[in-house]
Amino acid sequence: MAVFASVLLTNLFAIVVALVVITIAFYKWKYVHWKMKGIPYLDPSIPFGNITNPFKENKQLNVEFANWYARLKSMKHRYGGVFMLFNPILLVTDVELVKNILTKDFANFMDHGFYTNERDDPLSVNLLSLEGQKWRNLRVKLTPTFTSGKMKMMFQPVVDCSNIMANAILSYSNNQQPVNIKEVFSCFTTDVIGHCAFGVECNSFTDEEGTFRVRGKLATETTVEENLKNLVIFAFPDLAKMLRLAITKKKVTQFFLKLVEDTVSYREKNNVRRNDFMQLLIDIRNSEENGEAMSIRDLAAQVFIFFIGGFETSSTTATFCLYEISRDLEIQDKLRDEVNEVLDKFGGKLTYDAIHEMKYMEQVVDETLRKYPPLSIMFRICTKDYQIPDSNVVINKGERVAISSLGLHRDPEYFPEPEKFDPERFNPENKSKIHPFSYIPFGEGPRICIGLRFGKMQTKVGLATLLRNFRFTLNPKTNDPLVMDPAHFLLSAKDGVWLDVEKIG
């Protein structure tokens, strides 16, 4: 018996050693990728590649990419290789090449290369992840959903939601309590997108455990373990499909599929129409030929990506903005003066045209998106071999390319003193001098953010409503300087942004 156990142990040990050796050999083979191509690269280490070991120091991925950008740039490289686990990614630092990839040579870099799994993760089959002709067809269909006419139609509900937010903040100011503005703005944008995408009143302020708010948090926050699972999905998408892995959490998928099914069936049975994204998608679906029409699952995937894209990006933008203008009261006062001046002109009413007259507001939001672009890593998959101009280097079909807008936006060559929050960078005179493609918070080219207008609109409405009513200062509970939260895929302030609020007038 003892002999049998000892043989078993020896065999087990041999298997483990063999596995370790094979894994190391596999990694070493992968890690020569850039060297073999003669492309400069940052030294990776097993097993995370260039990513900081999340068990030692969990860093935000957007920040990691920006740091790699700065390192490659400091070595005067126009591009360079990095590794996520063992996956090689070409990180571009040269703005001309950024321009080629996003616009001029878009045909070679059309796809994001995100994981989709129609069977097990139906919400993943959305505009952000779709590829090739399927993406193109859907983009053409969805583009009319975001025209300025449609934005005007959705404007009043956004204002109504912002007034509810102002009411919620009033109680903090009355009780002299600091407010976690990130949480408050997330409730506002959840209410907005719930209304505008699904036609649902979410009441995130009164119903703290509200299903939308909870599902929104669940969909966007990840644990270290989930981040690792997502990295594995990223590294082995085919295996992940075989193992039926999903990025979207099961509860989130069930909730959104049911909501969309119920809403579509209710509207169709009762002949109900509403001014929201869901209605626009139902109309597109009804206008399509049988066989080509979007299924309910397709429709749910699109409203879902509007929901995810819609609430978190805008709420983090407004949060970063309020953080900065609470540190610089001169900017805050100037912005408030403009809001009041314009509103006086419009009889005190916050209208679509009034928001567009607020030029300084535009500058402040532009500068916020410079310093804190919420979605700052733009991935592309090379879909056709591509020779980098003025070089012998070829990016091969299937290789991943990344652009870090955070890296570009904090590059002193394009934005001197990049850590300084200075809306004057975007005044009409200076704005015209900004190097093209060094400022790309929404991406650029055919794959530019489809919700740009909506995102900016709801951010500005929220800010205008708050600034005309309150004065904000930084509460000591805020990390200053801010720390970015590794639990979010988007740039987001860890532990929130806490502000003291004083009612005006």
Binding site for ligand HEM (CB under 6 A): 127-128, 139, 305-306, 309-310, 313-314, 317, 369, 374-375, 378, 441-443, 447-451, 454-455, 459
* Shortest distance, position 149 Cβ to ligand HEM, whole Å: 16
Task: Give min distance, CB of 377 to ligand HEM, in A.
Answer: 9
- The whole-angstrom distance between residue 369's C-alpha and the CA centroid of its chain comes to 12
CB of 17 to ligand HEM, least distance (A): 43
Residue 263's Cβ-side half-sphere holds a number of Cα atoms within 13 Å equal to 26
Q: In this structure, what token pair is assigned to residue 344? A: 């006086």
- Cα 101 from Cα 285, distance rounded (Å): 32
How many Å separate Cα 235 from the centre of its chain? 20
Min separation Cβ 252 and ligand HEM, Å: 17
Would you say 301 and 125 are in contact if contact means Cβ atoms under 8 Å apart? yes
Bridge-based pairing of strands 400-404 and 87-92 is parallel
Structure tokens at 150: 């449609």
Say which amino acid occupies 204: S
For ligand HEM, the closer of residues 459 and 492 by Cβ is 459
Alpha helices in 175-295 (DSSP H): 181-193, 211-220, 224-235, 237-242, 250-270, 277-287
- As measured in angstroms, the least distance from the Cβ of 458 to ligand HEM is 7
HSE on the CB side for 391, CA within 13 Å?
Answer: 14
Contacts of 262 (CB under 8 A, 6+ apart): none
How many residues does this entry show for the chain? 505
Residue 484 DSSP SS3: strand
Cα(129)–Cα(246) distance, integer angstroms: 13
C-alpha to C-alpha distance for 335 and 457, rounded to whole angstroms = 16
φ, ψ of residue 180 in degrees (nearest 5): -85, 95
- Give me 427's structure tokens: 């005044």
Q: Check: CB of residue 284 under 8 Å from CB of residue 266.
A: no
Q: Tell me how far, at minimum, the Cβ of 467 lies from ligand HEM, in Å.
A: 18
User: Which residue's CB comes closest to ligand HEM?
Assistant: 451
**Token digits for 280?**
């626009």
**What does the alpha-carbon distance between residue 263 and residue 257 come to, in Å, rounded to a whole number?**
10
Q: Label residues 326-361 b or e (16+ Cβ within 10 Å = b).
A: bbeeebbebbbebbeebbeeeeeebbbebbeebebb
- Shortest distance in whole angstroms from residue 134 CB to ligand HEM: 11
Min CB(57)–ligand HEM separation in Å: 26
User: Which residues does 292 contact at the CB level (< 8 Å), separation at least 6?
Assistant: none
Distances (CA, A) of 12 to 1, 17, 26, 348: 16, 9, 21, 77
> Which of residues 100 and 475 has its CB atom nearest to ligand HEM in the complex?
100
User: In terms of Cα–Cα distance, which of 32, 44, 37, 40 is closest to 93?
Assistant: 40
Closest distance of CB 19 from ligand HEM, Å: 37
Work out how close the CB of 404 gets to ligand HEM at its nearest, in angstroms, rounded to a whole number: 11
> Which of 277, 360 has the CB closer to ligand HEM?
277
Instruction: Name which of 339 and 377 has its Cβ closer to ligand HEM.
Output: 377
Question: Which residue, 145 or 173, is less far from ligand HEM as judged by CB?
Answer: 145
- 449 marked among binding-site residues: yes
| Residue found by looking up tokens 């078993």 in the block | 8
CA-closest candidate to residue 200, choices 266, 265, 123, 263 = 263
C-beta of 321: minimal distance to ligand HEM in Å?
A: 10
Nearest residue (CB) to ligand HEM, 309 versus 496: 309
Q: What are 435's two structure tokens? A: 């190097």
The token pair at 487 is 């639990």
Residue numbers in the known binding site for heme are 449
Residue numbers in the known binding site are 449
